[in-house]
Structure 1
Amino acid sequence: MEKILADHYISLGTDVPIWNRCFTVAPLIVVGTKEGDNYDLAPKHMATAIGLSNYFGFVCTPKHATYRNVKATGEFSVSFPLPNQIVLSSLSASPRCGERSNEKSIIRSLPTVKATSIDALLLDHSYLYLECKLFKIIDGFDNDSIITGKVITAFVKSNYHRDAEKDEQEMIKDNPLLAYIANGRFASVSETFNFPFPKGFKR
């Protein structure tokens, strides 16, 4: 029998965005691009693998330098920071719309390494690096767009590499993951459990 929603649910009107009226969990990444003779870094949380192949995408507004840089160069890098890099990730947000030259100096002061197959920076000591060639930009989500790329090079920190012989729960406990709790909070994820897939489940 179908049930109706209980009284303890609150209707969220969709005349305005709903995302600031509850918490959701997302990854936190830092996107790197080449910007003229300089480089740019920008944190993003609306980001995900696109399908089960080597594609990755994130949401960005055309107002930001990241969008313009990716469109101009056709490539971008992705760094997955560690929980203890939350301040560095936040600082990379300084150059935004209408950035000034002194804000660009913040990027130069962050610990970075050069990508190996594209012309972009990566946030040093992150646990996962992706180097991507632009696949497709999808505009039209009001003020936002989805930027997707094909992963052409990837590196994972050795202690974050999944190994069938290691206990996954202990691995994540010893090597926590950074999660962004949208909007405005973050968490260090160290306690995890096996997902209860139904018997015979296949992707």
Structure 2
Amino acid sequence: MEPLRTENLRPLDVSENLWDRIFTVAPLVIIGTVEGNSYDLAPKHMATPLGFGNYFGFVCTPRHCTYRNIEKSGEFTVSFPKPDQVVETSLSATPRSGCSDKATDVLQNLSVLQATTVKAPVIAGAYLYLECELFRIIEGFDDYGLITGKIRAAHVDKDYLKVSEVDEREQLMKNPLLAYIAQGRYAKISETFNFPFPKDFKK
């Protein structure tokens, strides 16, 4: 095995934050939590399914109300917005001074709905909704933790449901996905290609 050729590479200082210096592609979701007698919504991009069972996780910090709300309530929702909901997604990130400050202002500007099995809200018009009960919080990533949930209920827009008789390329062209390009950009994904899996590949 030959060594890595570094002529065209630039080393990054790993004592500093790498993720502000490179582009990465991530989903963009909105986490909904209950906050006393009100609600909170917050966008997250460090978010992913966990394994092939019905688990979902995202990175958050105890400095954010989302983290503390989930610790108290033991539940949260995940809304996957469509590309035309970028403004709504941005509004859910409105800064505030305390955990109860943002909820009223955000709810006045966003169309929200009540989830079916948890008390937290979801945003109207998203293509996928997950309703989760807290599984566990894994701390220790500096000031951040991985919040994981067991999916209790899920609902998908029928136009985004994978069905064998529909061509996936055409389906995604008509119904694109929203992606976050860290840090600070987004993309509308409509052009996709079959991945060249090796023969007899199994997940």
TM-score higher than 0.5 here? yes
1:99-142 CA-partner distances (Å, limit 9, x unpaired):
56366322333111100000010010000000000000011111
Amino acid at match of 2:179: A
Amino acid at match of 1:153: A
Structure 1 partner of 2:145: 145
Structure 1 partner of 2:49: 49
Q: How many residue pairs align between the two structures?
A: 203
Structure 2 partner of 1:116: 116
| Distance across 1 between alignment mates of 2:177 and 2:17 | 28
1:44-79 CA-partner distances (Å, limit 9, x unpaired):
000000000000000000000000000000000000
Structure 2 partner of 1:187: 187
After superposition, the Cα gap between the structure-2 partners of 1:185 and 1:94, relative to the gap in structure 1 and judged at 3 Å, is same
Contact 2:33 2:76 in 1 (8 A): yes
Query: Which runs of 5 or more residues in structure 1 are unaligned?
Result: none
Written as runs of structure 1 = structure 2, the 5 A alignment for 1:1-150 is 1-96=1-96, 98=98, 101=101, 104-150=104-150
| Distance across 2 between alignment mates of 1:103 and 1:55 | 27
| Distance across 1 between alignment mates of 2:147 and 2:28 | 16
Give the alignment's TM-score, normalised by structure 2: 0.96
Contact 2:34 2:119 in 1 (8 A): yes
Bigger drift between 101-110 and 188-197 goes to 101-110
SS at match of 1:131: strand
After superposition, the Cα gap between the structure-2 partners of 1:185 and 1:31, relative to the gap in structure 1 and judged at 3 Å, is same
How far off its partner does 1:5 sit?
2.0
Amino acid at match of 1:122: V
Amino acid at match of 2:150: K
SS at match of 1:107: helix
After superposition, the Cα gap between the structure-2 partners of 1:97 and 1:44, relative to the gap in structure 1 and judged at 3 Å, is farther
How far off its partner does 1:4 sit?
2.7
SS at match of 1:118: coil
How far off its partner does 1:96 sit?
4.8
Query: Which runs of 5 or more residues in structure 2 are unaligned?
Result: none
| Distance across 1 between alignment mates of 2:155 and 2:53 | 16
Amino acid at match of 1:37: N
Amino acid at match of 1:86: V
After superposition, the Cα gap between the structure-2 partners of 1:114 and 1:100, relative to the gap in structure 1 and judged at 3 Å, is closer
Bigger drift between 162-171 and 99-108 goes to 99-108
Give the alignment's TM-score, normalised by structure 1: 0.96
How far off its partner does 1:146 sit?
0.4
Contact 1:65 1:96 in 2 (8 A): no
Q: How many percent of aligned residue pairs carry the same amino acid?
A: 53
Contact 1:64 1:96 in 2 (8 A): no
SS at match of 1:19: coil
Q: Once superposed, what is the RMSD of the aligned Cα atoms?
A: 1.3
Contact 1:30 1:43 in 2 (8 A): yes
Structure 1 partner of 2:172: 172
After superposition, the Cα gap between the structure-2 partners of 1:102 and 1:66, relative to the gap in structure 1 and judged at 3 Å, is closer
